[in-house]
Amino acid sequence: MLRSFIPLLVLILTLTMGSTACETAPAPAPAEPPSTPQPLQQAPAPDPTPAVTPSIAITATPSPGASGDRMAARHILVAHEAAAHRPMHVHRSASAARAKAEDLEARLARGEDFAELAKAESDCTTSARGGFLGGFDRGTMEPAFEDAAFALAEGQTSGVVESPFGFHIILREPLMEIRVEQILVGFAGSQGDRTGRAREQALAIAQAARERLDGGEAFGSVAAELSDGAAGLRGGDLGWFTRGQFLPDWEDQAFALEPGATAGPFETGAGYHVIRRVD
């Protein structure tokens, strides 16, 4: 649930963001966004993608503040047999789920790391990202979760919060978002590739894209012509996102850019990328 959750990114970076805090769909590996957790009801916006490797979101997210207050958070979800969207492996009762959540709360109070505990214990698909939900606006999550989350100061952890999805513990994170455009060129063996092209051919296309950008062509037109994946249809616009939603190597490149600067081509498991930071 950080600028509007995905879900590996549209690195295929295709986060598929669903609509609830733990049912989220996009998440991060560079390719097209996968599915993200949805424990809270979030409107489709980027989520960091599915499960294990983040990808970049395929759905562009609204500009920060577009729908009011925004924040970023991690959470740990303990689901139960009567909870909405419970994972198939969960068969505990609501009372057992509450007891487990209270035990996790106590472990956090004793100093255990929130992200590591989320990876090991959370029933949300965001567990692979340490419970990271990304950025979201007020009014997009399940009310009980949202009220508790927005009441927190940055760095503060909530007590046990009940929602239709089970019991949550929430950590409010700093909201640091950037907006990026991308040209992605996949090749046989890269994540999500449907082209079957040779690696050398993919690199040549990515290099040609960069040369055209350096020559003054509009990013959107070059992306629409050369980029693979859904983002190409949007002129390469990936929307707003925060750290933790995409693959680390891709994020390092993106967050190192100044607004208006371009990087690439560089390679990840999704293919070759050329990116430009918009804001």
Q: How far is CA 114 from the centre of its chain?
A: 18
- Predicted confidence at residue 36, as pLDDT, reads 33
Q: What is the pLDDT of residues 56-115, one digit of tens each?
A: 332 334 445 444 488 899 999 999 999 999 899 999 999 999 999 999 999 999 999 999
Indicate if the pLDDT at residue 252 is higher than 70: yes
Average confidence (pLDDT) over 229-254: 82
Query: Could you give the 3-state DSSP secondary structure of residue 121?
Result: helix
Q: What pLDDT is recorded for position 53? A: 31
- Cβ neighbours, 10 Å, residue 209: 26
Mean pLDDT of the chain: 79
Q: What letters, b where the CB count within 10 A reaches 16 and e where it falls short, cover 7-35? A: bbbbbbbbbbbbbbbbbbbbbbbbbbbbb
Neighbours of 215 (CB within 10 A): 8
| pLDDT computed for residue 171 by the predictor | 97
Assigned domain for 195 exists = yes
The answer to whether position 197 is within a domain reads: yes
Range of the domain at 244: 177-277
Alpha-carbon 47 to chain mean position: 4
Contacts of 256-262 with C-beta under 8 Å, sequence gap 24+, read: 257/180, 262/210, 262/213, 262/214
Q: Please, which residues bridge with residue 180 across strands? A: 277
What is the reported pTM? 0.63
Q: What is the pLDDT of residue 12?
A: 35
Question: Dihedrals φ, ψ of 219, to 5°?
Answer: -60, -45
DSSP, res 139: T
Measured between alpha carbons, how far is residue 121 from residues 107, 125, 128, 171 in Å?
12, 11, 10, 15
Least confident of 5-9, 139-143, 205-209: 5-9
Whether 267 maps to a domain, the answer reads: yes
Higher pLDDT, 209 or 47: 209
Rounded to an integer, what distance in angstroms lies between the CA atom of residue 46 and that of residue 32?
11
Distance CA 133, CA 47 (A): 7
State the distance between the two ends of the chain, measured CA to CA, in whole angstroms. Answer: 21
For residue 10, the model assigns a pLDDT of: 35
Q: Does the residue 40 lie in any domain?
A: no
Taking only the tens place, the pLDDT of each residue in 10-32 is 333 333 333 345 654 333 334 44
pLDDT in tens, 51-65: 233 333 323 344 454
Is the pLDDT at 270 greater than 50, yes or no? Answer: yes
Contact yes or no for 124/231 (Cβ under 8 A): no
Given this model, what pLDDT does residue 64 score?
Answer: 52
Q: How far apart are CA 240 and CA 205, in angstroms?
A: 26
Question: Residue 251's pLDDT is what?
Answer: 86
- Are the C-beta atoms of residues 40 and 59 closer than 8 Å to each other? no
What is the model's pLDDT at position 22? Answer: 63
pLDDT at 246: 79
CATH of the domain at 184: 3.10.50.40
Instruction: Count up the domains in the chain and report the number.
Output: 1
Q: Take residue 117 and report the two structure tokens written for it.
A: 């505990």
Q: Comparing C-alpha atoms, which of 168, 146, 150 is closest to residue 159?
A: 168
Q: Residue 166: pLDDT above 90? A: yes
Q: Is the pLDDT of residue 183 over 70?
A: yes
Does residue 47 lie within any of the structural domains? no
Q: Strand runs (DSSP E) across 17-149, as ranges?
A: 29-30, 70-78, 132-137
- pLDDT category at 176 given cuts 50, 70, 90 is confident
pLDDT at 153 > cutoff 70: yes
Task: Give the pLDDT score at 192.
Answer: 84
Residue 95 forms part of a structural domain: no
Q: In the chain, at which residue ranges do the beta strands (DSSP E only) sit?
A: 10-11, 29-30, 70-78, 132-137, 161-163, 166-173, 177-185, 237-242, 262-268, 271-277
Residue 14 lies in a domain: no
Least confident of 135-139, 142-146, 257-261, 272-276: 135-139
Contact 23, 126 (CB under 8 A): no
Amino acid at 104: L
- Give me the mean pLDDT over the 39-51 stretch: 34
Domain membership flag for residue 228: yes
